[in-house]
Amino acid sequence: MQESKERQKTPISKKIQENEHELKSRLGIGVSFDVGVRKLHVLKKEVQIYYCTGLCDSLFIIEIMREIMDMDHGHRAPSNVKEILHDHLSHQQVELTDNLEIAIDRMLSGLISVFLEGEDQAFIVDVRSYPGRQPEEPDTEKVVRGSRDGYTENIIINTALTRRRIRDERLRHEIMQVGKRSKTDICISYIEDIADPGLVDLVKQELQSIDIDGIPMADKTIEEFLVKQGWDPFPLVRYTERPDVAAQHLMEGHVLVITDTSPSVIITPTTYFHHVQHAEEFRQTPMVGAFIRWVRFTGIIASLLLLPLWYLYATQEGLLPSNIDFIGPNKTTNIPLFLQIVFAEIGIEILRVAAIHTPSPLSTAMGLIAAVLIGQIAIDVGLFVPEVILYVSVSAIGGFSTPSYELSVANKMLRLVLLVLTAIFHVPGLVVGATLLLLYLAFVKNLNTPYLWPFIPFNAKAFVQIMIRLAVPLSKVRPSIVHPQNSKKQPTS
């Protein structure tokens, strides 16, 4: 760290040859094909333009070079070459720096650094044009009604999509770099008079304390440093690729962390119930939105508890009332019921992983093979009883209905834990396991935020808004859990 701090104070020399030698040795100009320098001579001075091919817009650079070469026409006094050069840099975003480290960092980020002979400052011109895709609807957050744009891997586009929805002069996009080698751009977004200053400062401190070579995994690495994830399987931050969802959380007082090269934006702080909401609920009428929410809640509960409960009733026949005594396998096999469920769970997980790595045109065929051939044949040969396939499939569908992928995987892991406890200890195992899970979640905090709020600690008004999708005119205050400076979204009277 000390060496890095010393290197960040390298001054720019007035001797342009010294700067050229330093830049060539550090940037590998002549070795790396994608970094280079273009030299011009105007007004009896040498001008050097350093660029990184692929990250900058060549048309802008050509236009700037044309303007620089026109300096020889109409200007004969070389005493104010620096001011003349500044006037001829035809771009809206031009800054000066006397730090060689800043000039190098900006150049490697896609800007160009312009050095002038006899000056100890360099011009930085923003001509970035990152390769990437255009905004499109995220695959994991599709809606029937609503916008079809989504965040991309370009941090400039992402901040623009956010500002397009919040045209407030108090919206702040603070940028910093993380990683001594990767120097990845990280943007902290918040609304100045809504977000809690303590929360903003806490997020900044956590990000500034990251000391690592690079973060090629982008936002996921940032998350692990930010909330100290450890071995906790539950997601402690929420991800979104939808600008409207991000803007809504900004208006509530949350803080966003936008990482360059990632289309996922981190929302902080979040609770368990942030991960069970979806934008579709707010794109429908309140009644329909509440219905969709409860259907989703049912799927999430089924993904966690259905299999352990069914196994308990199937193996403990005395627990079944007479009117539902049909629950349980109608035939037996040589494989214990517990192992059948475990094998089926592993099989579905393997299919899920295979679907991720299978090209889209082949994924449908793979699903048909898995459902029709493997599933049916496994039943016919006596490997599984039909009820196992049914309940494992329903649990899997409940997991797919969970808006947060990270939460669905955590629920799947906890489902297997509850299943093991139920198989060993029967009713006490399920009851104690569920109780311990609830107690564990009650003590979890991320960024000083209780994970089960507003259930624990209980907040009646906020809990009602979790259970029922209220109409927007009735939702007049911001969630108190983020400690907003301005708690009212609209007049209360």
Quick: pLDDT tens for 228-276: 888 889 999 999 999 999 999 999 999 999 999 999 999 999 999 999 9
DSSP of 131-163: --PPP---TTS--SSS------S-HHHHHHHHH
Quick: pLDDT tens for 429-468: 999 999 999 999 999 998 889 999 999 999 999 999 999 8
pLDDT confidence bin for 5, thresholds 50/70/90: very low
Quick: pLDDT tens for 101-150: 999 999 999 999 999 999 999 999 999 988 888 899 998 899 998 899 99
Quick: pLDDT tens for 196-229: 999 999 999 999 999 999 999 999 999 999 998 8
Distance, CA of 355 to CA of 400 (rounded, Å): 14
Share of the chain above pLDDT 90, in %: 65
Name the DSSP class of 338: H
Q: Is the distance from CB of 434 to CB of 411 less than 8 angstroms?
A: no
- Residue among 269, 266, 229, 235 at smallest CA distance from 253: 269
Distance, CA of 359 to CA of 362 (rounded, Å): 6
Q: Is the distance from CB of 226 to CB of 270 less than 8 angstroms?
A: no
Quick: pLDDT tens for 318-328: 787 777 767 77
Query: Largest alpha-carbon pair distance within the chain?
Result: 104
